[in-house]
Amino acid sequence: MIKRKSAKEALDAILMSIKAYYKNYMQKPLYQNGERIAYAGRVYDEQEMVNLVDSALEFWLTSGRYTEQFEKKLAQYIGVSFCSLVNSGSSANLLAFMALTSPLLEKRAIRRGDEVITVAAGFPTTVTPIMQYGAVPVFVDVTLPQYNIDVTLLEKALSSKTKAVMLAHTLGNPFDLNAVKSFCDTHHLWLVEDNCDALGTVYAINGVEKLTGSVGDIGTSSFYPPHHITMGEGGAVYTNNPLLHKIVRSMRDWGRDCICPSGVDNLCGHRYDNQYSELPHGYDHKYVYSHFGYNLKATDMQAAIGCAQMEKLSSFTERRRQNWQRLYDGLKDLRDALILPESAPDANPSWFGFLITCKNGVSRNDLVQYLEKNNIQTRMLFAGNLLRHPCFDEARESGSGYRVVGTLETTDRIMRDTFWIGVYPGMNDEMIDQMISIIHRYFREEIK
């Protein structure tokens, strides 16, 4: 009689075969000169695939043990008390902002018509939650070559309606956290760090090194494939504030008042004991809603990939820094024609990309098209100037819904003249050197 394998033995055999599959069929060949160089991509090995299959075979599907493990790992890494996994970085920004509108925050809650200081040079979803809620984004200009908020404009942007500052660390380069945090503390404002492009960036706050995302009241991350780690789709919201954490969890989980995780009932032991608002006494607490919320959870399969990615994050960050520095060293002789990026003082960025701004006489469009034709993928600094986009047509025509302090001259310059190329950890020295070579060739052959 053939002895049947136990479930564990069968699972172990499947996972071993996954490792073999990766090694035999999934490992990428070395870069060959002339191949397309993407600005970003997934970097993974057999462990991500093993975790993914392990989670899939468990078939829990929604958030579960891998989610809990990932949230603990990420919170510990960043240096915060609480972390909530969500389904995208955009959802993370939505939750971060919406948490600040909760009635539980009383006088500090953001209300419709209140103002939030931000910038237009960046990704739309840093601003979208503000607009859609009915708060007023107040846009100020940025500086070159750091591509972050001009902190000298903060006091000018302040009004009696200001409640928060919500900013992204541009392509891994942190904004002046010392100045912005001091400004927020002085005026009792919330600070939201959009950390989606900067996971692993270190900043010295009054001489003490901290990871970006841990300095403000709330930080956010994205785990879309180009980002510092990936789950395919995914994001996170993190904080040291237990009340904000409670609000984030409620709004992420349909707006529930109950803290029970998926598949758990009556964790508090008082599911049917209490009176809530105008509901009947003893109404099932699992279906009591203290906020207008959403279902923004990620799946446990995504979290399983993220757990494996977390083990690689430090090496990914180091490689990003090495690639960025190699690009800088290889292009610095072109500074008469190009503005090269500079890291913020007091910072050691975990770079998302390498920003380049063309000086007068150099066409950004011509250079970008030359690079693309020569198999080097490029990207704009996202919106460039968000206010110039069709989504702002109605607000711009009506003259309401937002406020601009001063001019956005540098923001417009970025929109016209700036692009970036990749530094992701899947790039090796040969790929970096190829990009340097092609850019030099453009100036030798195309610029007369």
Instruction: Tell me which H or E stretch contains 371.
Output: helix 364-373
Q: What is the DSSP letter of 285?
A: G
Q: What are the φ and ψ backbone dihedral angles of 237, each rounded to 5 degrees?
A: -120, 130
Q: What are the φ and ψ backbone dihedral angles of 58, each rounded to 5 degrees?
A: -65, -30
- Angle among Cα 11, 17, 23 to the nearest 5 degrees reads 145
191 within 8 A of 216, measured Cβ to Cβ:
yes
291 in catalytic set: no
- Angle among Cα 184, 188, 190 to the nearest 5 degrees reads 60
387 within 8 A of 137, measured Cβ to Cβ:
no
Three-class secondary structure of residue 353 per DSSP: strand
Dist. CA 367–CA 160, nearest whole Å: 45
Q: Of 169, 227, 228, 285, which is the active-site residue? A: 227
Q: Helices 46-58 & 7-21, crossing angle to 10 degrees? A: 150
420's tokens: 């970036």
69's tokens: 């493990």
Q: What is the DSSP letter of 25?
A: I
Side-chain-side CA neighbours of 109 within 13 Å: the count stands at: 14
Q: What are the φ and ψ backbone dihedral angles of 433, each rounded to 5 degrees?
A: -65, -35
Exposure pattern of 312-326 as b/e (b: 16+ CB <10 Å)? bbeebbebbbbbbeb
Q: Which residues are catalytic?
A: 227
